[in-house]
Chain A
Amino acid sequence: EPEVTQTPSHQVTQMGQEVILRCVPISNHLYFYWYRQILGQKVEFLVSFYNNEISEKSEIFDDQFSVERPDGSNFTLKIRSTKLEDSAMYFCASVRGSTSYEQYFGPGTRLTVT
């Protein structure tokens, strides 16, 4: 069964460093999302992406964040200068679109900023 994959599973970085979180969405999906979840808390929407453009972004997704689909398979989230409060689980998700609404999540990347 097709699945969303994410790498790395755990990333430790120092405050102020740049990190890139990588995702491979399901191959025939057209809509891509990044979420974050601080331990034990709610799932927070960061950004959605379609047709090589950001569709919508939350207030969390400030100038320190960017997304990119550099090729036909990868979808990346970059944090330019990490802060302690960026420590969280980051989930990528994808939706095929058209008449298919099901959203599938990846296993997540745990980001720890020290």
Chain B
Amino acid sequence: GIQVEQSPPDLILQEGANSTLRCNFSDSVNNLQWFHQNPWGQLINLFYIPSGTKQNGRLSATTVATERYSLLYISSSQTTDSGVYFCAVPPQGNTPLVFGKGTRLSVIA
């Protein structure tokens, strides 16, 4: 089945720093999602991004579908950005999401 790999597995940032999280996937997909799981366990949709670039405030994401990777950019990080960031893809058109193992981000003041 499809493999979804995220890097780095862990990241510690000083508040105000910028970071880039990466998601590689092993097969063609027609969608990709980024999620943030906050320290309380809630999973929050960040982006649906099968291709191209999207921005939402301090976060932006870029997916290069032909090269099978996606990047999540966090600028001017804040302590509230801490948590685990997952990317997930549906292996085929109509199948549930396959998740990467996540990047655990800790932003310290």
A and B assemble together: no
Interface positions of B (Cβ within 8 A of A)? none
Interface positions of A (Cβ within 8 A of B)? none
